[in-house]
Amino acid sequence: MALTSELGKQIKLKEVEGTLLQPATVDNWSEIQSFEAKPDDLLICTYPKAGTTWIQEIVDMIEQNGDVEKCQRTIIQHRHPFIEWARPPQPSVLVLRRCFLLNYFKGVEKAKAMPSPRILKTHLSTQLLPPSFWENNCKFLYVARNAKDCMVSYYHFQRMNHMLPDPGTWEEYFETFINGKVVWGSWFDHVKGWWEMKDRYQILFLFYEDIKRDPKHEIRKVVQFMGKNMDETVIDKIVQETSFEKMKENPMTNRSTVSKSIMDQSISSFMRKGTVGDWKNHFTVAQNERFDEIYRKKMEGTSINFCMEL
């Protein structure tokens, strides 16, 4: 599938089992699929725009026992290897350097180089996850965000991210999203798949909206899941340091270090609004009714419940 970005570039997405993925991910698919997970790996799993960066910062703050300086050691994208990530070849880079960079920017290579216990990240569905994660009974931390806010957030992200196709108008994007024609596939399949797995594996299933409503309560769950003990004062500090306002100002989390040619934050900020219910500022009444009908059909039979406003 070839789509044109706002820069006029052709973004040629590729598919695996009907799911659209970044071309470089698909080009490295066999290596990604044969990735060897270890029993003490913790995998952060999310659909794009569901609060990945937020939960990564929370997990790292817990891991570093609330030490802000240690969390400042590098940008968040480098702290937890993104297993399916492979940076597309950069034509302007010298061949020798390119060989090095191609490996460096492969999530699987970074994961292999990381000492255990490893904390890794993925946006993959249960269906596409490398099988060794299931075989090794790893811990999974899944964060789900309501579909309407995910759609809005993803729309603005595609406007500013030149590695992703131009989303077109909001009306066009609405169709693209409900048909699952976005990178990493259908929100419905992703959330349903992980929800169905949660009682069969070690999965802590959290909701963005719950973290927003009561961060301390949800952070305590993560602390317990990671097998840590933590003073209340440290948890309070983590709540403060991982607030939207703090993370928006933090260059280690706000993507300000990413080149404008990749993410143009003058179009839309990576840390855009960080709220529950922004969908109301985007969905028309007709779109909302249609979406609710589609949601009922696609999510029929699941017990999952989303909060749509706080």
- Contacting ligand PPS (CB under 6 A), which of 19, 52, 122, 158? 52
Total residue count of the chain as it appears in this document: 310
Count of beta carbons in the 10 Å neighbourhood of residue 202: 12
Q: Whole-number minimum distance, CB 247 to ligand PPS, in Å?
A: 4
Q: Interface with ligand PPS includes 271 (CB under 6 A)?
A: yes
Q: Which of 308, 160, 63, 251 is nearest to 55 (CA)?
A: 63
Q: Whole-number minimum distance, CB 135 to ligand PPS, in Å?
A: 26
- Cβ closer to ligand PPS: 110 or 156? 156
Cα dihedral 74, 75, 79, 81 sign: negative
Q: Interface with ligand PPS includes 48 (CB under 6 A)?
A: yes
Stretch touching ligand PPS by CB under 6 A, among 94-102, 109-117, 241-249, 295-303: 241-249
The answer to whether 121 touches 43, Cβ cutoff 8 Å, is yes
What is the per-residue binding string for ligand PPS in 150-189, x denoting contact by CB under 6 A?
Answer: ---x--xx--------------------------------
Q: Whole-number minimum distance, CB 242 to ligand PPS, in Å?
A: 5
- Cβ closer to ligand PPS: 136 or 257? 257
φ, ψ (nearest 5 deg) of residue 26: -70, -35
Helix (H) or strand (E) holding 294: helix 285-298
**Set 123, 156, 162, 190: catalytic member:** 123
Binding residues for ligand PPS, total number by CB under 6 A: 21
282 is catalytic: no
Q: Helix (H, G, I), strand (E, B), or coil: what is residue 191? A: helix
Residues in a beta bridge with 202: 139
How far apart CA 299 and CA 125 sit, in angstroms, is 16
- Contacting ligand PPS (CB under 6 A), which of 242, 252, 279, 283? 242
Q: Whole-number minimum distance, CB 88 to ligand PPS, in Å?
A: 17
C-alpha R_g of the chain: 19
Task: Supply the residues annotated as catalytic.
Answer: 123
